[in-house]
Chains A and B, each alone.
Chain A
């Protein structure tokens, strides 16, 4: 709940903003105003505006009350209208929030990042992103060729096999992998656990990990995979972890750590947590519902 003081501050801020917005903007373009020397860090970003503290209704009957209402929900209320349509600001913010979510799904993890992380890459049986989205069955299978690459490139029978996969958000991998992978490795090193060769799977669904588990004959397999994005959040990643995963095993044998991103559980923290879980799985030879954490 907001204190009176906090609320007053917000109201003052909103009133100032409203009065600024009321200034009539002239039609002349001042050429000098197009400032190419403006430093990137000073460039405004509409996605940084705190929607919960923003009221666009010009003369509400009860501004204080409206601000309280806005604090009670993340829903986009108090947005006002142009005729019956959205204000431009509301519309563009919505489009930006959807764009970042869609881009997370429809773009690929960059080759540069994979190289930098020293991850080799294999594909599931999906030929492209369209097929990945429409054929969940193919996103859990590999061609012989891909299996051979994994066999050739990976340490056999490690205690733990970790790999990353784009899933429904490439952005999640871009945002988290550099922090989370070293964190897990370090954590496991402390426990003296032997970790296999990490790599990347393009167009992967979660059950692809069962194939990886069978091919590498790891005791524990862990996939770091992009979650389906919500509006404005493309960076969320999950870890699915299982002890001796096999193809067609029940879903209840997977342990999940979800909501890994800077607004949820930060990658470094999640990495340490995952290393702990893996250690317990190795000790208790179980995962999912069979493993009481």
Chain B
């Protein structure tokens, strides 16, 4: 294993794979804060050169957190398909990049290779890619998920309806829900982030949105994004819900800070299989984002992008219905500006798909980051080209409960039109029946009038 190279006569040396992976990253404020990012642009490129010559075997043997110390490492390592790994272990990372991009390699072949990968391999190959490589590579890979209905199929683009309310008023939640549905948003899921993380409140919201879904015969699924243990209790007390949610991260210590571990997620998965309202087989919804480990002081000195790939490795154990990436939510200490957020978005979408996950994206921003609506819309369009399964839908992008900006109902409708994509099949037919969408996928004249749902 060679950890040294020369550029223009200057020698660049790297201590170990963890340091190399960090320095091969495009610039991120989170890596700079930890003091692990490349010191110069040349050092960054030198790290990419060295990384391109390592083999996938080198990366498997050097996880950024040792197997003995970390549950996430163990989950990923123990899931590797050894037959497939044997076929690819001598590939260099540079060759792996070309293999993914090659005309000869289909999306299904990439998904087969995926079973032999660990997170460090996934992060490494993404570090060699440009933004367009990341879009092109990801665009080959289709991963669908099915809870009640299947989302993520070719030719479709779906949306999570996110009708949050600052005091969890059911009336207010339903109002934003009606607005979203009237724009064709909600085929991925209807999911509410509650303010108050209690069993009673979670149950109350689960009941209200389920009732609305059933009454209007909406072909979708529901979810309430309180802590997973709160949701589990609500289900045990009879609350109807399709999918369970949890934020997950790329180290055992970060997951512990989130109040979860592998066993708890497994227990939740078994519970929802037995007592959820949806047949599945995919019944978990995970949220992730670069920088969460660092912000919880649980990063083990590893870079935020590699830790994000580990998060995906952990998530895939539970065959999720959807994985949503919210890089951009934490703030400028992890991703400084629009350029860094956009890069992280494209990396995360690609890495998630390469890990075999049904990735959706929330290209979002807080008010203390050096970015704006234009940057966010650019990221959104690129991710749609890359083939993200779904986005969020927030009224005018302004989440009045979480206080950040995300994609809007209007953005959702626009993206479908731009790329000639339709909603998930059953939801599409429902929209046509409701008179909200035409057969050609465009909005009708009554779309955008939420009061059409006031009839019952």
Contact = CB atoms under 8 A, between A and B. Distances in A.
B372 interface: yes
A191 interface: no
A194 to B, nearest CB: 36
Given A94-B397, A136-B333, A137-B33, A81 B448 contact: yes
A69 interface: yes
B370 interface: yes
A75 B333 contact: no
A243 to B, nearest CB: 26
Interface string B25-49: 0000100110000000000000000
Contacts of A77: 175-176, 179, 395, 450
A73 B169 contact: yes
A70 B400 CA distance: 13
B432 to A, nearest CB: 17
A69 B451 contact: yes
A72 B395 CA distance: 14
Categorize the interface residue count of chain A: 35 or more
A134 B396 contact: no
A101 B366 CA distance: 10
Contacts of A57: 448-451
A229 B367 contact: yes
B78 interface: no
Nearest to B415: A84
B373 A81 contact: no
B174 to A, nearest CB: 8
B336 A134 contact: yes
Interface string A53-66: 00001011111011
B contact residues, range: 35 or more
A72 B171 contact: yes
Interface string A94-137: 11011001101110000000000000000000000010011111
B302 interface: no
A147 interface: no
A231 B398 contact: yes
Nearest to B295: A136
A208 interface: no
B18 interface: no
A234 B332 CA distance: 18
Contact of B403 (A75, A76, A86, A231): A231
Nearest to B175: A69
23 contacts: A57-B449, A57-B451, A59-B449, A69-B175, A69-B450, A69-B454, A72-B171, A73-B176, A74-B166, A75-B163, A75-B165, A75-B400, A76-B398, A81-B447, A86-B408, A94-B396, A97-B398, A102-B372, A105-B367, A105-B368, A133-B370, A134-B333, A168-B368
Interface of B: 29, 32-33, 163-166, 169, 171-173, 175-176, 178-179, 183, 331-333, 336, 366-370, 372-373, 395-398, 400, 403, 405, 408, 410, 413-414, 417, 443, 446-452, 454-455
